[in-house]
Amino acid sequence: MSEQHGTVIIGAGPAGLTAAYELLRHGLPVQVFEADEVVGGISRTVERDGWRFDIGGHRFFTKVPRVESFWHEILPDEDFLTRPRMSRIFYRGALFNYPLSAMNALRNLGLPEAARCLGSYARARLRPPKDQSHFEGWVSARFGWRLYSIFFKTYTEKVWGMPADRLQADWAAQRIKNLSLATAIRNALLPSRRRTDVTSLIEEFQYPKYGPGMMWERCAEQVRKRGGQLSTGTWVTAVHRDPKRRRAISVTVDGAGGQRTQPADDVISSMPISELVAALRPPAPPEVLACAADLRYRDFLTVALVVPAEFSFPDNWIYVHDPGVRVGRIQNFGSWSPYLVKDGRTCLGLEYFVFEDDEMWRTPDADLVALATAELERLGLVRPGVVEAGYVVRMPKAYPVYDERYQHNVDVIRAWLAEAVPNVHPVGRNGMHRYNNQDHSMLTAMLTAENIATGSTHDVWSVNVEQDYHEESSGGDGRRGTGRDAPVVPSRIIAAPINAPEGVGAAGSGDRPRQVPLG
């Protein structure tokens, strides 16, 4: 009988750690390699000088029972807070409720502008835009041009770094499913507690009191306690395969202990699928390598600013629709959990969506803190001079980009991996180049672990395909969805971004959070 080497897992984010935990549940040996010094990937909680901040904001809400059970198996109930969901839109110095509230919108817009918005909506209903294949046409047909330009256009272009008429409508159809101006007015006039029938309208969610990283730090402890091996600061530099046996047989890792080879019966990979293909030895065919190299990502900057508690706000985050600033969204970490901040102070996280080769990505931390401080003051959310400290976190490869070629590229890679190395299993957001939520990433790992442990044949690629949005309740059609897609964007635009407010991203191993104390 041949020696059993167990499973090598690349990456210790939600997908990688879930896979490790589930395999150990089946009594199978695992070895996890994480390139960063901390676990959790994008779902980590960064801690600096006693401040904790979430990267991107992670609501613990799912309609997948086994994911819900997993969360509560890792953390006891007392470690979860039940938090109110609150987000608003900042536009022209005013905060608009999201979802839209009739009285709030009327008061902030003023009667003349509100009348123009209603007139614009009426025109859109009578004469809808001819081209609704893109985001701009699809949304303006359902809200009218004026409301579209106020509440959708600027933020979307910041996030994706390109004109909204270049984004495909299928993303809008998922992201704003069942929501239109008529629905918003109906919800505003007839509010209902715990409303979950329209996309993004959940009113409560769970949250680990010390942030999402608490979940994955505890999970990592459990993996080690149950006999799994987990190495941080360790890069997988090569995945070796035997072409004749159609198997991956080992990985080469490089870390504090130097370079070594680890044999493997299976490899579960949550590293970016483009990097996985590039790491295979002997190399993949040229056409597969070309498809991997053609995959793109959006990247993410968070500038966390410490301010007095008087400048707190009740929202989890505020969407910034002001085109005069680069910031796209502002988190209030104190609204996520009082355990993230200190008495008398809160921490506001200004999020900037960028490409890794943008000038902003290369800007020194002190300059980014100064920029974020100036923008926060310009928006009128704080008084000049009150920012006490700032911390910068760069998160590469936050969002897989869905350009015109991505589906072809992923299909080619999937088909070749399935044929050439079927014991290599991509999981998670970057591992599958799919805009998965945390619970989707976990579910792909659970199903993969079950396939390895029991010989089942779950299709992990079916997770988050044509399913309902993450924060929308199950409808009467019997589907159990929890997901959303990213928009399909033209690849030529990604190659040459427009000079619009920069935007998008957050995630990945290898980031190094930095701090810049002020004063």
Per DSSP, the residues of 44-82 read -EEEETTEEEESS---B--S-HHHHHHHHHHS-GGGEEE
d(CA 20, CA 229): 9
Q: How confident is the model at residue 296 (pLDDT cuts 50, 70, 90)?
A: confident
Please state, as a whole number, how many other Cβ atoms lie within 10 Å of the Cβ of residue 182. Answer: 12
Q: How confident is the model at residue 186 (pLDDT cuts 50, 70, 90)?
A: low
Phi/psi for 197 (5° steps) reads -90, -5
Tokens of residue 509, six digits? 């191993």
Q: How confident is the model at residue 399 (pLDDT cuts 50, 70, 90)?
A: confident
Edge-to-edge strands, sheet with 247-255: 258-263, 247-255, 235-242, 280-281
83-103: average pLDDT:
85
Edge-to-edge strands, sheet with 266-269: 229-231, 30-33, 7-10, 266-269, 424-426
| Helix (H) / strand (E) containing 124 | helix 111-126
Please state, as a whole number, how many other Cβ atoms lie within 10 Å of the Cβ of residue 317. Answer: 24
CB within 8 A of 117, min separation 6: which ones?
109, 144, 146, 147, 150
Share of the chain above pLDDT 90, in %: 63
Quick check: 239 pLDDT over 90?
A: yes
CB within 8 A of 65, min separation 6: which ones?
none
Q: How confident is the model at residue 191 (pLDDT cuts 50, 70, 90)?
A: low
Tokens of residue 365, six digits? 């931390």
59-65: average pLDDT:
90
Query: Model pTM greater than 0.75?
Result: yes
Q: How many CA atoms lie within 13 A of 278 on its CB side?
A: 14
